[in-house]
Structure 1
Amino acid sequence: MKVFEVPSAGAPAQEADHPTPELTGADVLVRVTNSGVCHSDVHCAEGYFDMGDAGKAPVESLGMAFPLVLGHEIVGEVIAAGPDASVQPGAEKYIVFPWIGCGECAACAEDRENSCTGARRNLSLQLNGGFSREVYVPHERYLIPVGDLDPSWAATLACSGVTSYSAVTKALTPEADRPIAVIGTGGVGLSAVALLKARGHKNIVAADVSEDSLKNAEAAGATATVLTTGEDPSGDIVKAGGGKLASAIDFVNNGVTSSTALGALGTGGKLVSVGLFGGQLQFPTTLVALQQLKIEGNFVGSLPELKELVELAKSTDLPQLPIVEKPLEADEVNAALKAIEERTVSGRTVLVAG
């Protein structure tokens, strides 16, 4: 089957042919129709993650190996299924849940495969992803019907959507008028703004270094916006929200943004760390204790959370992040990754099969 793989760290994606896997059990083979491009694809293509003072962690340390077939925001049609699968090949479109665990650890047993402690099988990381004509999925349970949703937008729910949904769940407070900040309003942050609004929160502060991104956040439901290029971004966020934050969701998560978020939290506030931009957390440890602050990491979301999000999207008029559609070809994979790296794309690029 045809794939668009990154052969080595820093190299451009190129077209290649891989053998079609043999299907057993309830495995399925999905023809990719829509494949979103995520910032984490950029990190993986570079070949490392920034670990701050600990240096750069090569992707191989996370169980990955070049060549990599990236892309984990996948919508497609089943074209073949194993002997035990109940799903039949046909034109129905499915969102593919990509965050697949070992299936044996305690987290997997509780349907928290994104928190797997064993040998993970994430699509686009350990297994081939959606920058391809077809993608192998190790069980039909990871398919969620798209229904009447726009398939390009539905594809983004598998990463930017479920990541935002899970992070918002961690950040929400019963006090709907207390400010919650969303730091970084690219594709994933925009989803968080929209979901905070959809889930009833009334005080949403969007913070970013880009005025265009803040305009998108305002359209998605932010009640206040902050350009974080001033001398006191923490103070500017507090002022915009009308008081210290109940929580902050950091979709950048570098040394600057994490310190900014912590500095804006009120007593008992929570920082939800999501982004993978890297750096080192620097904040007075005494204040963490005195203000009873909480820091919680968020890696994408679980299969049940994605199902909840899809049902919410089908039943609620969720604001959709801007989508730019491009052909699913090697050149467009490279152009999309470059645009994300250079911050010249607003919203999400989705590659569409011809």
Structure 2
Amino acid sequence: MNEYSLRNDARFTMHAFAVFQDSHEIRDIELPDPVPTGTEVLLRVIRSGVCHTDTHLREGSYDLGSRGALKLVDRGVTYPLVMGHEVVGVVEKIGDRVHGVKPGDVRLVYPWIGCGKCRDCLAGRDNVCANGRNLGVAEHGGYAEQILVRDEKYLVDVEGLDLSWAATLACSGLTAFSAVNKVLPLGHDEPVVVIGAGGVGLTAIATLSALGHKSICAVDISERNLELARKVGATSTVSSTDQGLTAKIIDAGGGPVAGVIDFVNNSQTAPVAFNSLRKGGKLVQVGLFGGELTVPTALMALKMLTIQGSFVGTPEELNQLIALAKQDAIPHIPIIDAELSAESVGESLDKLTHGGVPGRVVLRAAVGAQG
């Protein structure tokens, strides 16, 4: 028998909610009770956010446009997989080399864990590691009763924060914060465009506003999302259903814009983002919706443009973000609470896939939850 069971063997003690290869169904399984050793920490999950990345993990691939599909099994992802990487938990057990946390402590988990040995990991850039062991992606994550974290250095104190919102900061918040860092510094009145005003885009708009930026244009297909964007700091909004979208964005910015952060990043939005840039402008590509962008090479040189990819952020950026959050400097995005169960995981992913979530869904442990 392999290590997976469908709740039919008494030797398995931890319940988890996993996706199986070639199936969208989320199933309740049982896994061996994790035992931390050395620097490891075991936490009981009390909050687990639902991210759009999980819809791709459930689907099993990313769209690469004319290059076809990138199958996640070819990148080392194994199924059945317990997803979930926006996790707040209570420390239950610690290894014998852990000294900074103790049982009962509530911590946010940094999930983008690298190999720990390469140059990027040693420099604190775990998210850049080519052999990452990301929780909820390469290793079992937070759609479970417990989660095992390799080292206490990946745990962040979130005392004083709403725990459901804090959970989203490990991915949605961190992704937005790191992308904003790649566009800034700019003058406060230099226009920045945020394409996609879902949970991550709203967080980016809120972060730009918290950092004092005064010219933020939100672009989205949903009027509901655009209204939320205005509430968290957008100074102008453009519906992506409009004809002549590039011209509308340039008009809203008072001219070609200094920066665009594209949280959709598909074959439709990427050209619009590129064409909206001024000389010396920067496009930060974040979204994983898939597709491709054909770039005029002469314009890249003549306009001195920058296109940069951004994937989540570093442990230090997460600590900086939490410090801002504790100063009450970042407006909260809408949080939709649901129960942590196989059914809720599946339903939440379905809603995300069809664009039906204004903000972020966070799953709450049904038994023994705190906060």
Q: Residue 37 of structure 1: which of 42, 50, 57 is its match?
A: 50
Question: What does residue 294 of structure 1 align with?
Answer: 306
CA distance in 2, matches of 1:57, 1:333: 24
Question: 2:270 matched to 1:234?
Answer: no
Confirm or deny: 8 A CA contact 2:94 2:103 kept in the other structure: no
Q: Could you say what secondary structure the match of 2:268 adopts? A: helix
Alpha-carbon contact 2:101-2:152 (below 8 Å) kept: no
- Using structure 2 for the length normalisation, give the TM-score: 0.93
Out of 293, 300, 307, the position equivalent to 1:281 is: 293
Q: Counterparts of 2:43 and 2:35 in 1: how far apart (Å)?
A: 13
User: Could you say which residue in structure 2 is the equivalent of 1:164?
Assistant: 176
Structure 2 CA distance for aligned equivalents of residues 62 and 249 of structure 1: 26
Name the structure 1 match of 2:82: 69
Distance 1:227 1:156 in 2: 26
Tell me which of 268, 274, 285 is aligned to 1:256. 268
Q: Where does residue 9 of structure 2 map in the other structure?
A: none
**Matched residue SS, 1:255:** coil
What is the one-letter code of the residue matched to 2:31? H
Q: 2:72 aligns with which of 59, 63, 66?
A: 59
Picking from 311, 318, 342, the partner of 1:306 is 318
Q: Does 1:199 align with 2:211?
A: yes
What do residues 252-305 of structure 1 show as CA deviations (whole Å, max 9, x unaligned)? 011111100011000000000000000011232222221111000000000000
Cα distance in 1 for partners of 2:248, 2:23 equals: 38
Distance in 1, matches of 2:251 and 2:328, equals: 31
CA distance in structure 2 between the partners assigned to 1:88 and 1:154 by the alignment: 18
Aligned to 2:10: none
1:10 corresponds, among 23, 32, 35, to 23
Aligned pair partner of 2:36 in 19, 23, 47: 23
Matched, 1:115 2:128: yes
Deviation at 1:89, TM superposition (A): 4.1
Q: Does 1:85 align with 2:119?
A: no
Equivalent residue, structure 1, for 2:6: none
Residue 330, structure 1, aligned to residue 342, structure 2 = yes
Equivalent position SS for 2:23? coil
Work out the number of aligned pairs and report it. Answer: 353
Select which of 97, 105, 110 maps to 2:110: 97
Mapped to 1, the partners of 2:179 and 2:330 lie a distance apart of 17
SS of equivalent residue, structure 1 residue 5? strand
Aligned-CA RMSD value:
1.0
Contact conserved, 1:167 with 1:274, CA < 8 A, in 2? yes
Q: Distance in 2 between matches of 1:229 and 1:99?
A: 35
Select the residue among 181, 185, 190 that pairs with 1:178: 190
Deviations 1:145-186 (A, max 9, x none): 111000000000000000000000001133111100000010
After superposition, the C-alpha distances for 1:109-138 in whole angstroms (9 at most, x for unaligned) are 110000002x21100111101100101101
2:35–2:42 Cα contact (<8 Å) kept: no
Cα offset, 1:242, TM superposition: 1.2
**Corresponding residue to 1:134 among 143, 146, 151:** 146
Contact 1:9–1:66 under 8 Å retained in 2? no
Q: CA deviation at 1:52?
A: 1.0
Q: Percent identity?
A: 46
2:308 maps to a residue whose letter is E
Contact 1:81–1:87 (Cα < 8 Å) also in 2: no
Unaligned runs of 5+ in 1: none
CA contact (8 A) 2:88 2:166 kept: yes
SS at match of 1:101: coil
Tell me if the contact between 1:173 and 1:246 (Cα under 8 Å) persists in the aligned partners: no
Distance 2:294 2:243 in 1: 17
The aligned counterpart of 2:255 is 243
Match of 1:345 among 357, 362, 369: 357
Match of 2:137 in 1: 125
Gaps of 5+ in 2: 1-13, 367-371
Within 2, Cα distance between the matches of 1:219 and 1:282? 35
Report how far residue 240 of structure 1 moved: 0.8
Q: Give the 3-state SS of the residue equivalent to 1:181 in structure 2.
A: strand
